[in-house]
A and B are shown apart, each in its own frame.
Chain A
Amino acid sequence: MDFAVSDERRLLGDSLTRLLSEKCAFETRTAMAYAAPWHSPHLWDALAELGLFHAFLSDDHGGVGGSGFDIMTIFEPLGHALCPEPLLGQLMGLQLLAAAGADCDAALNGTTRLALAVDEAGSAWELDRISTRAEQQGMSWTLTGRKSMIYGGPAATDIFVAAGIEDQIGLFHIDSAAGARHDIGLIDGGGASEMLLDATPARLLLHNAADAIENALDWGRLALAAEALGAMTAAFDLLIDLLKTRQQFGRPIGQFQALQHRVVDLKVEMEQVRSITIAAAAAMGTREQSRTVAQMKALIGQTAHLIAQETIQMQGGIAMTWEYPASHYAKRLTMIDHQLGDSAFHLARLTASGGPG
C-alpha cells in the first residue's frame, strides 16, 4: 500500500502548476474563459510542450503515461487554475484514437485539438438513445442529426461523432469546419459547440464503438473529478483566508463555531471525494472501472455542489461578485456535475439492473 505520488508525477504536476500560475493567472483566465474561441494557442502550445498530452496515453500508443493517476496529476492543477483550455476533449479523443488503432502523434504533440460529440438533447450520454444516423454511400459516409454540448468544439481541429449504424454505434471523424458548427460560451467559462449535421461527410473510425466510447467517457469523468478536486481545494483555501480576516462583531468570523463546524464538514467531504477519486484512478482498466467511476462521479457531483453553495454562503456578498475568484470556482464546481452525466444519472446507472453495479 502506497499513497505517495511518484517523483515523475510530482514533477509534472509542479511544472504544470507553475506554468498555469504564469500563463493562466486569474485575470488572464477570466478573459480567456469568456471570449471566443475560449482557447489561447499560446497557452495550448505551452501545455503541449510540457508533454501533458503524452501523459494521457501509455507507451503502447506513443504516450508516456496512461494511468488513472497521470490523469489525476494533470487535471487537479487545471481545476485549481480554472483553466478553460479544451483538454477534456483531447483526453477523450486520444482514448478513442488509441482504441481505433489510429495514429495518435499529431494529437499527442498538440498540433491537433480533439473534441467528442456524443451528447444529444434527450439522450444524456446514453449511447443506446443516440438518434444521429450514419448513411453509407459506396466507400463514403454521411451523418445526419444534431449533436449537443461538444466541449472544446470551438477550438477543435477534429471532431469525433457517435452515430448509429443500424443497431450499433459507430465512431466517425469529421473535419471541425464541416457541418454547421455553432459555438457557444459556457456560464462557468470555456466553450462548446452545437452541430447540425445534414448529410455531412464523415470518415468511419470504428464500426462498433460503444465500448470504446464508454471507456473514453469514463476517462473524461475521472478528469472532471480531478479537476473538481483542484477547484474545491482552491475554493476552500479562499474561504479559510476570508474567514480568518473578515471581521464582524469585533472578531474574525472564522471564530464563530456555527461557521467552523460547517467548514469542517466541507473538509471531511473533500477528503472523502479525494479518496473515491483515488479508488477510481486505481480502477481504470480493471473490471471495477465503470462501477467505481460511477460511484466517483455521483459523490463528486454532490460534494461539488455542497462546496459551491457553502463557500458562497459563508463568504457572503463578496462571493456573489464577478471580480472575486470564489464566484468562478462556485460556477465551475456546480457545472462540473452537469458534464458527462450528473450525480442522479450515475446513481441511476448504479442502481439499474445490469448496470455497472
Chain B
Amino acid sequence: MDLGFSPDEAAFQAEVRTFIAENLPAELSDKVRRGATLAKEDYDTWHSILAARGWLAGGWPRAFGGQSWSTVKAHIFEEETALAFAPRIVPFGVKMLGPVLIKFGNAAQHQHYLPRILDGSDWWCQGYSEPGAGSDLASLKTRAERDGADYVVNGQKTWTTLGQFANRIFCLVRTSTQGKPQEGISFLLIDLDTPGIDMRPIQLIEGGHEVNEVFFSDVRVPVESLVGVENQGWTIAKYLLGHERTNLAMTGLSGAALNRLKGLAHEMRRGGRPLAEDPHFSRELAVVEAELVALRISNLRMLAGGGAPMAEAAMLKIKGTTIRQKISALSRQALGAAAAAIPPENFSDNLRLVPDGSEHEAAAYFNTRKVSIYGGSNEIQRNILAKGLFG
C-alpha cells in the first residue's frame, strides 16, 4: 500500500502547478471561480495556451500530437487545473471524438480532423440524445439513408452542449432497422454549415444557454464522413463510454468548490457567529468533506488499477455527482435569503448582497442538478452495477 504518487508523477504534478501559475490568465480563473458564463473566446484562449504546451490532448498518443499520458497523469492534470479554477477543456473534440477517430477512423480522417481539433479550427458538439432517446439511447430515430455518394439525414438531436459555438457535430444515426436496435446505428461526422440543419437554443433552469436542439431535414452528408463501418456506431459509443473515464468522480471540481464553500462559511454570519461555527451547518460540511476524502481514494484505487471498468466507473459517477451536488446545495444554503438575488450588472459595491464571487451560487446549484442526469443518469449507473451483482 502506497497512496503517494511516484517520483515521476509527483514531478509532473509540480510541473502542472507551475505551468498553471505562469500561464492561466487571472481574468479567466476569476470567471470560473465566480461561476460566470464563459464565452467561446474564453475556452479558445485556454485551449490554445494548452495546445502550445502540447497539453490540450495529453491523453492522445504522441503520434497524433498528444503526450501518451497515463491515466494517473491525466487525473493529475484534471485535478490540478480544476483546483486552480481553470476553464474545463471542452470535451467533445479532445476527449470524445479524438479517441474515437484514433481508434476507428481512417488515415484521411486522422490527417484532416485531428490537427483541426488541436489548433481550434474545429469546435465539435455531440449529437447523441433525442427527444425520445435519452437513457434508452439505442432507440434513437434520426435516419441516415444512402443516396449515391451521400447519406441523407433526417431527424432531431437534443441536449447539444455548447452547440452554439460549434462548426461540426458527430452523430449517432440510424442506418438500419434490421435486428436489435443497437445493431443499426452508425457514427457520422456532419458539418453544421450543411443546408437543412437548424440549431435552436434551449434555455435551462437557471436561465442560461448551454444546450441546444438540432433539427436535420434532408441534410446531405458525404459517405466519407462515416467513422468505422456502417452499423458499428453502438460499438464506438460504448468504446467512448469506457475511455477517458478519469474525471468521472470530479474530485478536482468538488475540491475547488469545497474550498470556496469553506471560505464562504467563515465569511457568512448566522446567529451572531460565523456560519462555520453553526453546529448543523458545520456538521454537514464535515460529512461532505470526509466523503470527498474517501472519494479521492476511491478514484485513486481505480486509477492504480489502470482505468475504470464499468462497475467502478458507475460508482464513481454516482458518488462523484452526489457529492458535487451536496457541496453546491450547501453553497446556496450558506448565502441565506440573498442567494435568490440576481444582481444587475451595474450594482455598485455598496449594494453588494453576497460575498464577492458568490453571485452565481443559486444558478450554479440549479445547473448542477444536471450532473446526475447526463452521461448516463445515476439510475442507469445503478442498473449497470445491479447487472454486475445480479446478472
Which residue numbers of A lie inside 8 Å of B, CB to CB? 1-6, 69, 240, 243-244, 254-255, 257, 260-261, 263-265, 267-268, 271-273, 275-276, 278-279, 281-282, 292, 295-296, 298-299, 302, 347-348, 350-351, 353, 357
Contacts and interface: CB of A to CB of B under 8 A. Distances in A.
12 contacts: A1-B3, A3-B1, A5-B1, A264-B386, A268-B319, A271-B298, A275-B295, A275-B298, A276-B297, A282-B1, A351-B282, A357-B286
Contacts of A4: 1
Given A3-B3, A298-B290, A347-B283, 12 more contacts: A1-B303, A1-B304, A2-B304, A3-B1, A257-B383, A261-B379, A264-B385, A264-B386, A276-B290, A276-B297, A295-B290, A302-B287
Interface string B372-390: 0000000100110110011
B294 interface: yes
Given A1-B304, A275-B295, A299-B294, A263 B386 contact: yes
Given A257-B386, A261-B379, A261-B382, A1 B297 contact: no
B9 interface: yes
Interface string B1-31: 1111110010000000000000000000000
> How many interface residues does chain B have, given as a range?
35 or more
Given A240-B389, A257-B386, A299 B318 contact: no
B56 interface: no
**Chain B contact residues: over half helix, strand or loop, or mixed?**
helix
Contacts of A275: 294-298, 301
Contacts of B298: 271-272, 275
Contacts of A3: 1, 3, 300-301, 304-305
A contacts with B: majority SS: helix
Interface in B285-344: 285-287, 289-291, 293-298, 300-301, 303-305, 315, 318-319
Interface string B62-99: 00000000001000000000000000000000000000
Contact of A2 (B1, B287, B297): B1
Given A299-B291, A351-B282, A260 B1 contact: no
A3 B72 CA distance: 13
A251 to B, nearest CB: 11
Interface of B: 1-6, 9, 72, 277, 279, 282-283, 285-287, 289-291, 293-298, 300-301, 303-305, 315, 318-319, 379, 382-383, 385-386, 389-390
B131 to A, nearest CB: 24
A244 B390 contact: yes
A260 B5 CA distance: 36
A257 B380 CA distance: 11
A302 B288 CA distance: 12
